[in-house]
Every structure is written in C-alpha cells, then in structure tokens.
Structure 1
C-alpha cells in the first residue's frame, strides 16, 4: 500500500461494540475520521498502533450534561480540569450548561466561553445557550452561532438564575420550535420548592433529609407535565435532564406514545445511591438538584434507562470547591458533585454484574445522545466515515473510586468514594488522537472541537396562535 493509505492510528485486536451488536475488527483512523473497520488481514498500515486485544472498542461517550464552570466560577472547575476529567472517563464529547458567569444569553457571552474552551479543551464540546426572559431576542443569533441546544431552568440551581415566567417559556418554545434545536429542561417547580424550603427553614429544619423534603416528587412531576404540554403545543423539541422519579416513567412513556418530541436522561446517582444512606458528610457531598431519592426508586429508574423509556445517560457533572461542601448548615452546602470521570466505570460495573449489556451502554452513553442532539451518525457509532471518537474498554479492569484521584483538581470528592468497580476505559481517542492511555491523561489542550448540531427539519405547531402571530393587527387566532 502506498503512503496515501497510511493511517494515523490503528486500533488492533479488539471487539467493536455498537448499540446494534459486536464483532471482532480492527479500526483505523485518518485525518480525524474512521476510515476502516474490518478484518485484521485487510487493515491499512498506520503510524501508530494501539493494541486492544481482549478489550472492547466503543464509540466515545457523549455527556450531554456537564458544568465546566468557566467563565466566572473557576474556583470550582475550568476547561482544562473538566475536559481532562472527561478524557480520563472515556468521554470524547461534553455539552456544557450555560449557568456560568456571565450566563450564555448573548453572543458576547457565547464568544467568551467558546474562546476559553477552544484554548483548553482536551475533548470535543458543545455549548448550550440559556433560555430565559432576557434571552428571547438572542435565541436565533445563538442558534446561528452554533449552540448545541438551549437550557431552561424551571428550578433553581448553581448561579441562582430565576425561573422564567411561563409566558416567556411559551414564547421561547415557539421560537425554538421554528429553529429546530432541542431545549434541555431542569424540570422542578421553582415556586413550590422555594415555598417548602422557606417553610422548613422557618421551622428550624436543617437535617440531611430537608433538601429532599423540599423537592418532593410532586415538584418534579408538576414541572415535567408542564414541559410536556408546552412541547406538545409548540412542537419544540425538549430534553428532560436528570430524571429522578419513578412516578415520571408512565408520564414519559405516554407522552412519547403521543408523539411529543422529547428525550430524557438520568444519571448514575439516581439508580445507584439512596437517600436513606446519605447522612453527615456523605449527605453534604451528595446534595444536588434534584435530590437523590429513596432507594425504592432506583430499580424503576434503572429499568426505564435499560428499556429506552429514559433515552440516555448524563452525569450532571457539577464540581465545587471543597470548602463549598463543608458548611455547618445543610442548606448552605453547594449542590452537585463531579461525575464525568466516574460514570463509565460505574456503568461497566453494571454490565459486569449482568444488569445490562455493553450494547445497552453504548446506546445510552453515545448513540442516543448523538441522535437527540443532531450529531448522529457522525458520532455515536464505530463505522467508516464517523468521527474517530473512540474509547477502548477493559471489561475486567478492577479499581476503587477515590475522590483524591479525580482530574477535577478543585473538586476531589465523590459520593461513590470507596466503591469498587469492574471495567474501565483504558484509552480515550478524540478525532484519532489518543488523549488518555492506561489511565494517564495526555496533554492535549485545544484539541477539543466545538460541535454544531444538524437537527432534522423543524416541525412547529399551532403557528396561528404564537406570540409572534398575535402581535400582528390582522392576527386571527380562532
């Protein structure tokens, strides 16, 4: 073979696993793309060969829900530490939420974050724009600039962005329905949770379970139903983030059956951890929004993820400075913890235990996120023509999760402290470049590329009654 056929990387001897099945094959990458998947006898030569004998070769994970914290909150995390954590965890693309400082509600704020990311990122990234009352006029421009989608906070979170008025949400959905981009929704009812939280504070409740009590299932259920109604009316594509309630599952199933254009994610914390086990320091570390619920909810959530009712796995990677988790009052402790680095190990352990298959994992961690956000089949599958975003996984690699080992250098704590895992990524490849090998993250600042979605044709509904339509004097809305 001539020099034209010389590839940059050959992954040899492994078993390729896509969502549809597995097969023995070598995989070659050239100029950032997979150019060969096939029998070793026909594999092209390459300048670099990675031995994957006995291991799985899977599409790199796509984490649609991370908080990198830069700009404005770099005491918690920045684009270097956050994307090194992703690389360590077999994650080749992350989507960063817009509740930074400033929030991504303007082209200027978007440009500020993009510059920081492009300078430091070790893995690919998508940037969310913010949907709120102040950003409605900027939504089309942000879409044109290349946001991966938009984020709507119906419940409060880090940054304390106020939940928008429902009228503004409706108008925002009308705009997004015409743009075709997906809106990720933090579905908790903000007035309910604040009312309940303030009532408990006044009554002197400051215990580990007070946060869960403020955000009882009804707070999420009401917001989920409202989001579905608005999506169904407008045609806006929505994505429910960090689903935590088993009572949501029939609601989601029914909405999807009616054709509501929605997808849903959950995270490992909602089916591996239980509120009743979290007291003292553990409770402070594991405080997040929505809260980890009682243990009885774990299996229904896990089953819904495996059967596809819940489409995908996210992490809500939410690092904080350690001091922000050590306040005397439970209410004063920051919500969230790192997750992007540990997720694959936790899920491979579920595979090892026989609770799910590798094919299930590839669907929920890579293929489904790529489909939902307009990146498939460029990502989410090992096949010729796809991006060379790959994780090599050792299914038998044993380990113990330790916060002290995390790449999120300012946020070295985890609610999974001491948990034993079986299965781990041993190489992470981003567009053909090895960014992690043997557990060691290699220096690759700026290698990560911003990903733009290519969504299906928009399908807006009820156009005669949109806010834009009724502002015209000749509008007829009957």
Structure 2
C-alpha cells in the first residue's frame, strides 16, 4: 500500500478554504488535519500553500467509443481529463452503436476497465422504441438516463409524446435531457440554407439553434418532470431565458432534502460568446449554441446564486478536418476536458465567484446529484481523487493537447492557474507536465 502525505496545502472543500495537511493511504484519504507527521515510507509532497481540491467529476462527456475512435476513445480522452484535474467522468450514450440496452452498457464498462485513467460511469440512452429496457435499468449500473429532446444522431431523438410521458413516469434513475426543439431548428435551418446554401456563416449558428428552440424544449421537460415527480437534470443551459424556469437555492437543502429539478451549464458558455464566431468559426460550433454576451453574464451570475447547480464540459471532440467542412456538414462539439478546470478558475480570477463555488459545481454537486459513492469531497475515508492547483500562468499550445483530435478552442489563451498534480484513487496520475504510471480509473459506484 502506497502512502502519500501532502503538507502545507490550502484545501478547498464544502464552501471554505483552509490550511491543512492531507494523508493518503492506499486509495483513500486517511487523515486531514494540521501538522500531520510523516511516517517511514511516506512520499511527502509540499504543497507550499497551493490549493488542493477534490478531483473534478465531469458528468457530461462524449469519449466517442465505440464506433468513432478516429476522433477519440476512452484511453485518449481520460488522459486529457486527468491532465486537466478531472478524475471522474460520465459518458454519453450516443456512440455507435448507441447505449440502448444493458448489454451495450456493460460493453462500455468492459472497454474502460484497465484503460481509463479517470474513474468512469456510462449513461443509458432512451429512444422511441426501448421503453421496456428503460424500465429495467439497474439504478446502480448507470448515473442516469439520457433523453435527447432535440436533434441527435442515430436513433436517439425521442419525440413521440406518449413515449416521452412514459419515460418520465417510469425511469428508475435520474433523467438528464438535451433540450432543443427540433421543428424550430429545422425551420430556421431551412431559411438560412435558402439564403446561403450549405456554407452558412458560423455566426448564424445561435440563430438556427435558437433560444426559442431551447426554451420550448426545456419547458416541456419541466412540465413532464413536475407531472410525474421525476428527478430531472437539464444539461447545458445556454440562455438567460431558461434560467427563470429553475429554483434558486442549494442542491442539498439544510433539512437534507434535494432539488428534484436541476440545471447545468458548460464551461464554453462561460468563456465564449457570439462575437467569437468570427474568430473561431466551427471550432465553437456546438449544440446548444453559444449565444450572446448577455447570456454569458447571466450564466455566470446563475452559478454564483445557485440557480445553476452543476458545471460540466460536454467534451465532444471532432477532427480538425471535420470542423473545416461547410456549416451543414461541420459537426457540433468542442474538446474541453484538459482545460476546463483552469478555465473555470479564470472566472475566479475575474471575480465572478470564488474557488469554493467552482468546487461545489464541478465536484460536490455531481457527486450528490448522481449519488456517487465516496467521491467528490475531501473527506476522511473517501477515495483520494485530488488535484493540486498553482497560480502560475501558462498559454495553451496545440502541441500540449492530449485529446486525440489534436486541437483546442483555447489555443493561444493564457490562464492564470495550472494543474500541478492529479491523483486518482490515491495514485499520482499527472505530475504537472506528463502522465504518470498505468491507468488507475475505477468504475463509479452509485449509492442507491
């Protein structure tokens, strides 16, 4: 059993920052306190006043395996994740084939075993014709059920009203939704295509994937959830308009009860806005679309005020060549896991909220929302998923990108914090400049 003692750290956990030491024994946090003494055989790490955070839990990624490994796979993207301080991920079901039954779900877990550098969970997917499989989900096997209530790939757009109603009524796990109204999008796309053909300028993406499409679909999801008392988590909120639909206040209330309906936004909605399409084009084409500066400001405020409960990435890599295609063929999605945490900390440097708020939205809340067992907090007895952060500036370069796609929308951006070390299950996985050792990720357990 390995033993590591981290001394002189500034821990960020459960709403506060405080100076302390932290001892790791094997895979777990054994002790948190002041003036912990080194023991024979300990590896001692002097944090020298740097922040020590719980490893981030990214509840929304697309690691592309199986079926799209030319873009990414579990091994490559989990490597990028730990380099970015993300120690657990939850992967989406719109792979090829899609994850629409228990066999496909377990195949993904088998693929991750021994290859994932971060801990892993995989979502079950809903379609118009797999209702019986949805009803039979083992709640301990998956973080939740993904429902695409908007344009999606393959067989995963759920638009049959009776099926949607039954899914919200009968799902035995939390439902997570992608909310965009497809007919609204299709009508707007037809108008722009009539004017520009296939090569629609990227700046019109937020008008095609419009706020009206988001708002209409989100309202429908909330109506269904309230009708059936469903635990609903709405992903990647991109507009100020949708924020008015959600409850303000902490995810877990003082009496221990939890919100039944929760909201999430993504790091790219905090760092980019409409004006950036002129510079970055399809690099920032994603669904839902990045919208206006006023939406960005509203989302930052909503995180600070507990209207938005979770911050995630929606990491969705595509090759550089694919992104250069004309608008109608250029795929939507951005590679984000490697620089998401430092991008969130940039919001701290800018004064939007403090580091404890980042930890709450990026680590504590996903663990609480999805009943993740013994992760997401700096607590004695919990798994030692940790990230040490130092406030030393660096500029993102293409040659540093670990995602298989080989590019980042943050290239050329200078961040004021960097990831100094990442530990996964008690073992150093990233030393600040390189990956360390073999993959140590484990299957996430859901305490249900």
**Interval containing the TM-score (normalised by the shorter chain):** over 0.9
Show the counterpart of 2:278. Answer: 279
Distance 1:158 1:87 in 2: 28
1:347 aligned onto 2:344: yes
Distance 1:197 1:353 in 2: 36
Per the normalisation by structure 2, the TM-score is 0.93
Residue range with higher mean Cα deviation, 367-376 or 436-445: 436-445
Distance 1:184 1:331 in 2: 27
Q: Is the 8 A contact 2:185 2:213 kept in 1?
A: yes
Show the counterpart of 1:362. Answer: 359
Show the counterpart of 1:253. Answer: 247
Q: Is the 8 A contact 2:140 2:446 kept in 1?
A: no
Instruction: Quote how far apart the aligned CAs of 1:351 are.
Output: 1.6
Distance 2:40 2:164 in 1: 54
Show the counterpart of 2:310. Answer: 312
Per the normalisation by structure 1, the TM-score is 0.88
Show the counterpart of 2:290. Answer: 292
Q: 2:188 aligns with which of 184, 196, 199?
A: 196
Show the counterpart of 1:12. Answer: 7
Give runs of aligned pairs for residues 95-244 of structure 1, distance below 5 A: 95-144=90-139, 146-159=141-154, 161-176=156-171, 179=172, 181-204=173-196, 206-244=200-238
Show the counterpart of 2:443. Answer: 450
Show the counterpart of 2:50. Answer: 55
Q: C-alpha offsets along residues 49-78 of structure 1, whole Å, 9 cap, x if unaligned?
A: 222112111110010000000000001100
Distance 2:107 2:290 in 1: 34
Q: Is the 8 A contact 1:305 1:311 kept in 2?
A: yes
| Ranges in structure 2 where 5+ consecutive residues have no aligned partner | none
Show the counterpart of 1:325. Answer: 323
| Ranges in structure 1 where 5+ consecutive residues have no aligned partner | 1-5, 456-478
1:65 aligned onto 2:60: yes
Instruction: Quote how far apart the aligned CAs of 1:275 are.
Output: 1.2
CA 1:260–1:392: 2 relative to 1, 3 Å:
closer
Instruction: Quote how far apart the aligned CAs of 1:144 are.
Output: 4.9
Q: 2:71 aligns with which of 42, 65, 76?
A: 76
Distance 1:263 1:296 in 2: 22
CA 1:260–1:33: 2 relative to 1, 3 Å:
closer
Distance 1:92 1:70 in 2: 19
CA 1:47–1:299: 2 relative to 1, 3 Å:
same
Secondary structure of the structure 2 residue equivalent to 1:95: strand
Distance 1:364 1:85 in 2: 20
Give runs of aligned pairs for residues 85-100 of structure 1, distance below 5 A: 85-100=80-95
Secondary structure of the structure 2 residue equivalent to 1:276: helix
Instruction: Quote how far apart the aligned CAs of 1:80 are.
Output: 0.8
Q: Which structure is larger by alpha-carbon Rg, 1 or 2?
A: 1
CA 1:106–1:229: 2 relative to 1, 3 Å:
same
Q: Is the 8 A contact 2:203 2:274 kept in 1?
A: yes
Secondary structure of the structure 2 residue equivalent to 1:386: coil
CA 1:46–1:197: 2 relative to 1, 3 Å:
farther
Distance 1:10 1:341 in 2: 26
Distance 2:397 2:346 in 1: 16
RMSD: 2.0
Secondary structure of the structure 2 residue equivalent to 1:289: coil
Instruction: Quote how far apart the aligned CAs of 1:158 are.
Output: 4.8
CA 1:160–1:325: 2 relative to 1, 3 Å:
farther
Residue range with higher mean Cα deviation, 194-203 or 209-218: 194-203
Distance 1:310 1:414 in 2: 26
Show the counterpart of 1:382. Answer: 378
Show the counterpart of 2:261. Answer: 262
Distance 2:23 2:136 in 1: 38
Residue range with higher mean Cα deviation, 148-157 or 72-81: 148-157
Q: 2:388 aligns with which of 389, 392, 395?
A: 392
Q: Is the 8 A contact 2:248 2:305 kept in 1?
A: no
Instruction: Quote how far apart the aligned CAs of 1:134 are.
Output: 2.4
Q: C-alpha offsets along residues 164-208 of structure 1, whole Å, 9 cap, x if unaligned?
A: 3121111011111xx2x2111001111221222133223335122
Distance 1:333 1:7 in 2: 47
Distance 1:159 1:75 in 2: 18
Show the counterpart of 1:425. Answer: 419
Aligned residues: 440
Q: C-alpha offsets along residues 249-269 of structure 1, whole Å, 9 cap, x if unaligned?
A: 111137999x96111111121
Instruction: Quote how far apart the aligned CAs of 1:11 are.
Output: 1.4
Q: C-alpha offsets along residues 311-359 of structure 1, whole Å, 9 cap, x if unaligned?
A: 11100000012211011x2121110110111111111222223322111
Instruction: Quote how far apart the aligned CAs of 1:407 are.
Output: 0.8
Secondary structure of the structure 2 residue equivalent to 1:87: helix
Q: C-alpha offsets along residues 83-119 of structure 1, whole Å, 9 cap, x if unaligned?
A: 0011000001000000001111012211221111113
Secondary structure of the structure 1 residue equivalent to 2:384: coil
